[in-house]
A = this chain, B = another copy of it.
Amino acid sequence: MSDLAKYPGFKLMSYIRLVFTLDLFGDKKTGMMRNTLRRLPLYAQIKSVLIRRIGEGEWQANQALPSEWELAAQLDVSQGTVRKALGELVAQGVLYRRQGRGTFVAEVASDWGAGYLVTPGFLDEKPDMLVLELLGCSRGNAPEDVAQTLGLRRGEAVIRVRQLWRLRGMAVALDDAYLPAESFDGLDARSIRQCGGDVYVTLQRRFGVRPRVAVEQWRAVALSREDAAMLGVAPDQPTLSQLRVSTTMEGEPLEWRQRVCLTDALAYTTGRQP
């Protein structure tokens, strides 16, 4: 127990325990909370600590975390409490577990997000790989609706990213994403390109942030002339339009993203992963 300090994250944890558990709020051994002020349950505190340590790069994607018992000893809680925290992180897609092997950090989701493109009406089809192409990354001022959604002042600086998705060589979707410039200073075309053109991967690697899709809106629209030209189709073609807002794991707005997707020969499928 005396070598706790050698573990990264110990300081944070001991701070939390000191302030929120031992001194002010109660005695973890019995679960007592002597104060009427709320504190986060232990397992929720552990979730935060693990998310932070993952963000700091302590464990890379597909690397194993310490075992439940090891973590319990590090954090000075019972194995059952660690288990509950890990279980919620698995449910959130941050971790995955393999019986007999260990608990691993999940790959960060790509910009594509959940869902896949298959032939309409076919539900068990294995989807083809999407290829991502970064069209551009620029700084600008937040449009009205973007600013409101991201909680920015009107016209505040944002980073705008444009991307094109190809399936078997054909352009199938066009993305237009906005992020608050203040929070992501080094986010530019070069850094995104180093991460395969993928913003979410870049956010994870460079800023330790794991985006999380909060809301999606679906509409059928007629393509704008520019978008139609970019996708190489007639401008009157009915097109699937998706608006997505992503947040941090803690729920702060992170990204506003508009996608148009050609669905004359494809269907955007959500739910069961094949």
Contacts and interface: CB of A to CB of B under 8 A. Distances in A.
Contact of A215 (B123, B238, B266): B123
Contact of A120 (B239, B243, B268): B243
B243 A267 contact: yes
Interface string A22-62: 00000000000000000000000000000000000000000
A263 B220 contact: yes
Q: Which of A91, A149, A220, A222 has the most CB of B within 10 A?
A: A220
Contact of A145 (B121, B215, B238, B245): B121
Nearest to A123: B215
Contacts of A123: 149, 215, 217, 245
Given A120-B243, A245-B123, A268 B219 contact: yes
A268 B213 contact: no
A272 interface: yes
A6 to B, nearest CB: 34
A119 to B, nearest CB: 10
Contacts of A213: 271
Contacts of A214: 271-272
Contact of A218 (B121, B215, B270): B270
A243 B121 contact: yes
Contact of A219 (B120, B216, B272): B120
A273 B115 CA distance: 20
A267 B120 contact: no
A88 to B, nearest CB: 11
Contact of A267 (B121, B218, B239, B270): B218
Contacts of A216: 269-271
A154 B198 CA distance: 44
A173 to B, nearest CB: 12
A213 to B, nearest CB: 7
Given A149-B123, A238-B238, A267 B220 contact: no
A201 interface: no
Contacts of A240: 218-220, 240
Given A123-B217, A220-B221, 18 more contacts: A91-B91, A120-B219, A123-B149, A213-B271, A214-B271, A216-B270, A217-B267, A217-B268, A217-B269, A218-B218, A218-B240, A218-B263, A219-B240, A220-B239, A220-B241, A221-B238, A238-B238, A243-B267
